[in-house]
Structure 1
Amino acid sequence: MIDHPDAADIRSPRFLIMDNTPLSLLGCIEALDWLFEPGCPVTITDMILAEATRDPGEDRDQRRGTRAYINAWLTKNRARITILETAEGARYDREMQLWERAGKPEDLRPSWSDRGERSLLAAIQVLKQALLLDEEIIVIVDDRDARDAVRAVRADLTMMGTRTFIRWMDEDFGVSGADTAWQAIRLATDGTADEGEDDDPVFVRSGS
């Protein structure tokens, strides 16, 4: 499955997660540790961190067990994860701090509406800055709009969906349980998990 580049083209790979879906899907089978399996540094944008850990509200899908696992995993591995700060993330953090100081009145709770698109644009800007590093950026992303936005960045990027990532764990790393993980995710999500794209390029190597 892995396409090994020429020695002269090898760069240091880094995972970038700019879509909450990979965290949610891997979280529902408690497999987030697989992100560390290749030995790549892991970077998560601040808005994805906020989305993964926020209370979605009483009228939204809670999946409390999955959310509790993701929160615990993020806390446990905070020193191993780089948080990529964005302008939208800083704006949301300020709004949340003001709301909390006001006593958390429900009618003034910062809205999550339209933040996804704005945070995506912010992530693309910081992604361009990250590409100045001598690294190969591997974007793990399932959201179709986010994938289109990543494609629009004129840079050498590798992009894979969660299903491709799981196949990689199975075929190249032999991770226990990875061979049946996608079926487990489909069951856990009532068949709603995005199957992804068959032509996801995978040009990464295991870490040394």
Structure 2
Amino acid sequence: MKRLSNGNSPPFGDGSDETVIDRPDPADVRLPKILIMDSSPLSILGTIDALDWLYAPGCEVWMTDLVLEEVTRDPGEDRDRRNEIRSTIADWIEANRWRIKRIVTREGRKYAREMELWRLAGNPPDLKPNWGDRGERSVLDVLKSTSDALGVGESFLVVVDDREARDAVRVVRADVDMMGTRTFIRMVHVDYGVEEAADAWTAVRLAKGLETDDGVTPDPVYIRRRSIFEP
């Protein structure tokens, strides 16, 4: 099966129809799971109302407890609430809760305990648990937990944009492949025929402006010797 010739995704919208990553071969007994371990893919896809594209490859979608918490929690009165996008993501998660596998992490359990103690104390503003860096600290925990949860013949396609998280994924000895959201959008267009995705990155850039990270190279990254989408 084909990969990108140099392991890098061509510029989005360059007219290339080269396959990004192929569908699982019927002879390939491994079953890929899409793993979301930081909130950026949800935020980007939610911006263009394209969260359903996560199911375009026909894989199960797994998310960590911290990601689900981050995209649905109240950010606080002094934060940019981005209410419309948050509402879109929260509504989508609620509508698809039966299709999303929630991965419990140690950092997620710790945060839940801290929040419960804070509520029992009467919600004092100066003692509210700090959210900062929790997602980053949970990356290795997530990968260990999810790897243990995989069955025989199962493997992960991690969609992640955070650069520190990507570095952590690279060192894991597990059945894992990785790509950023921009490459994922290209994949669902080129490989899975989602025509609306053809100009989606342009729409993302217009909607999010300078906040949008165009991604890193190489991408996709094949951490295993063979891709989960290769026989």
Same fold (TM over 0.5): yes
Higher helix proportion (structure 1 or 2) = 1
| Letter of the 1:200 counterpart | D
Structure 1-normalised TM-score?
0.89
| Letter of the 1:34 counterpart | W
Helix, strand or coil at the partner of 1:191: helix
* Deviations, residues 59-117 of structure 1 (Å, cap 9, x unaligned): 22221100000011111110000001111101111112222233322122111123233
Alpha-carbon distance between aligned partners in 2 of 1:5 and 1:12, rounded to the nearest angstrom: 8
The 5-angstrom pairing of residues 150-161 of structure 1 reads 150-161=169-180
Matched, 1:168 2:187: yes
* Deviations, residues 116-143 of structure 1 (Å, cap 9, x unaligned): 3322232132133134542121001000
Please tell me whether the aligned partners of residues 157 and 177 of structure 2 are also in contact (alpha carbons under 8 angstroms).
yes
Please tell me whether the aligned partners of residues 23 and 191 of structure 2 are also in contact (alpha carbons under 8 angstroms).
no
Equivalent residue, structure 1, for 2:50:
31
Distance 1:204 1:177, change over 3 A: farther
Instruction: Identify unmatched segments of 5+ residues in structure 1.
Output: none
Distance 1:13 1:95, change over 3 A: same
Alpha-carbon distance between aligned partners in 1 of 2:228 and 2:192, rounded to the nearest angstrom: 12
Alpha-carbon distance between aligned partners in 2 of 1:67 and 1:160, rounded to the nearest angstrom: 23
Distance 1:10 1:164, change over 3 A: farther
Alpha-carbon distance between aligned partners in 1 of 2:165 and 2:156, rounded to the nearest angstrom: 15
Name the count of aligned residue pairs.
205
Which consecutive segments of 4 or more residues in structure 1 shift more than 4 A?
A: 3-10, 202-205
Distance 1:173 1:125, change over 3 A: same
Matched, 1:188 2:207: yes
**RMSD of equivalent CA atoms:** 2.0
